[in-house]
Amino acid sequence: MKREWQIAVERGDAATLDVLLEQRDHLDSRDRYGQTALMLAAINDHAEIVRLLIAAGADTDREGSGAPGFAGKTARDLAKDLGRKTIADLLNSEDV
C-alpha cells in the first residue's frame, strides 16, 4: 500500500506535499523499493516537487537501495540517467 507522500509525489500534488512537509512527514523515508520522495519526483519529472523537497531539506545525497537500476544512485543520478535536465540542474545547483 502506498503512503500518502508517495501518492502526492507521483501525482505532482504540491499542495498535499506541502502540508506533509510542514509536518516533516517522511521527508527522507524510503518506499518499499528503497526510493525517497526526491527520487520519485525526479523519476516522474516533477520539477516543482523537487524544488519543494530541496527547500524542505531533503537529503540530495541519499542513495537508493533495493530496486534494480536504483541501488547506489541519488536523485541527481536518476534525473541525469533519464534525461531530466531541468531536475538534474536543480539538484546540481541546489539553488531553489
pLDDT at 20 over 80: no
Could you give the percent of the chain with pLDDT greater than 90? Answer: 38
For the chain, the domains span 4-93
Architecture of domain 4-93: Alpha Horseshoe (1.25)
Residue 90: is its pLDDT beyond 70?
yes
Q: What is the pLDDT of residue 96?
A: 45
Residue 67 pLDDT exceeds 80: no
8-17, Cβ contacts within 8 angstroms, sequence gap of 24 or more: 8/49, 9/37, 9/40, 9/41, 9/44, 9/46, 9/49, 10/40, 10/44, 12/44, 12/46, 12/48, 12/49, 14/48, 14/49, 14/52, 17/49, 17/52, 17/53
pLDDT at 16 over 80: yes
